[in-house]
Amino acid sequence: MNFPFVYEGQPYRVLFGHGMLGELPDEAERLGCGRLLVLSTPDQRAAAEEVAALLGDRCAATYHDARMHTPVEVTEDAMVVVAKHRIDGLVALGGGSAIGLSKAIALRTDLPQIAVPTTYAGSEMTRIIGQTEAGEKTTQVTAKVLPETVIYDVDLTLTLPPKLSITSGINAMAHAVEALYATNGNPIVQLMAEQGIAALYRGLPTIAQCPDDKDARRDALYGAWLCAICLGQTSMALHHKLCHVLGGSFDLPHAETHTIILPHALAYNAPAARDAVGAIKRALGGDGIAGRIYDLAEGAGVPVALRDLGMEESDIDRTVALVLATAYANPRPLEPKLLRRLIANAWAGVRPDHSTYAD
């Protein structure tokens, strides 16, 4: 454990359980919001309209064009709606795209937010916002983007397709994995990280086979919540830097990219993060942790190679250069040759083990 340490609790309110979406009107009233904007992606339009109906007169408008990586031009388009309808609060329904747009609007307006996650992405628990402009994704940390209320309704995840559940869940695991070796980690976060990884690893294989299993869905959402808290409490390292570069520069899908990169980033850092490795072994139930995560993805039939997401082999060297140009703090120094091997292996879909990134 890291002693001494600093732990700073975040001022959000969380509602967790089955059927919790019904509490949304009361939460809106508690926040004093009477002209809400409901945000979603195009795929979630029908569900967002149901949320708007649940809010009744408290919903002033809806916006269904949230996109991955929070493009600035989309935020500017949504800001027109905010001004036109005199919006006084935001409801984000969905995953990182909808919640990211809500955060981007809050950054510019300081409007209160209610996040209703339907995936395991975790953005709702953090003061982090990532935005993409001119092909480059940048992040910043500010309390202005932290939602005031988060409603975790397990029932809303029952329709999340099994493959998306797996990629979203492994994305969530990545938050906890990096929290375990973050430079500003602490024992409280380490406890949540281990429990979060364990709950996801317990729930996800069942979801892959039986997507309507409510106990597995509860475990996965609970684990995702814990992992998201970890992301909001600590700094990010190599895994997230790689995913930010790949997503912002090559427009690769968010959850799938995290799923592919995590086993490789974990294998790379394992020699310099013994305590973290021990916690992850306990959470996953044994050795070979990078391979176990890879096998979870492959067994569920989700992509394990960046080339399957549309990345060109010629982009490998550019990715190396972009990561090295503004690297995040990492437990193991970034060695260009090994970093290139990591990205090349992730591109090809090679299963990593403890020796893949040995010197």
Could you tell me the pLDDT band of residue 5, with boundaries at 50, 70 and 90?
confident
Q: Please compute the mean of the pLDDT values over residues 54-80 and round it to a whole number.
A: 97
What mean pLDDT comes out for the span 239-253? 92
- Find, among 248, 258, 340, the residue nearest to 302 by Cα: 258
Q: Assign 16 to helix, strand or coil.
A: strand
φ, ψ of residue 41 in degrees (nearest 5): -85, 165
Question: How would residue 4 be classed by pLDDT, with cut points 50, 70 and 90?
Answer: confident
- Confidence class for position 1, pLDDT limits 50, 70, 90: low
- Average pLDDT across the chain, whole number: 95
Backbone angles phi and psi of 329, in degrees to 5: -60, 140
Pinpoint the residues of the chain covered by CATH 1.20.1090.10. 162-348
Query: What percent of the chain lies above the pLDDT cut of 70?
Result: 99
* CATH 3.40.50.1970 domain residues, the chain: 13-157
Report the CATH architecture of 162-348: Up-down Bundle (1.20)
Q: Which pLDDT belongs to residue 325?
A: 94
pLDDT value, residue 9: 80
Task: Give the whole-number percent of the chain exceeding pLDDT 90.
Answer: 85
Mean pLDDT computed over 246-265: 94
Q: Which fold has domain 13-157?
A: Rossmann fold (3.40.50)
| b/e sequence 85-120, b meaning 16+ C-beta within 10 Å | bebbbbbbbbbbbbbbbbbbbbbeeebbbbbbbbbb
Q: What is the pLDDT of residues 306-333, one digit of tens each?
A: 999 999 999 999 999 999 998 899 999 9
Cα–Cα distance, 239 to 231 (Å, whole number): 12
Cα separation, 108 vs 307, whole angstroms: 36
Mean pLDDT on 188-214: 97
**Which has the minimum average pLDDT: 24-38, 106-120, 122-136, 199-213?**
122-136
Tell me the pLDDT band of 2, cut-offs 50, 70 and 90: low
E strands, the chain, in order: 13-17, 36-39, 59-63, 89-94, 113-117, 128-133, 136-141, 149-153
Rounded to an integer, the average pLDDT of 97-107 is 97
Residue 174 confidence class, pLDDT cut points 50, 70, 90: very high
What is the mean predicted confidence (pLDDT) over 17-36?
97
> What pLDDT band is residue 136 in, cutting at 50, 70 and 90?
confident
Distance CA 334, CA 271 (A): 13
Radius of gyration of the chain (CA): 19
Average pLDDT over residues 335-347: 97
pLDDT in tens, 70-94: 999 999 999 999 999 999 999 999 9
Q: Is 95 helix (H, G, I), strand (E, B) or coil?
A: coil
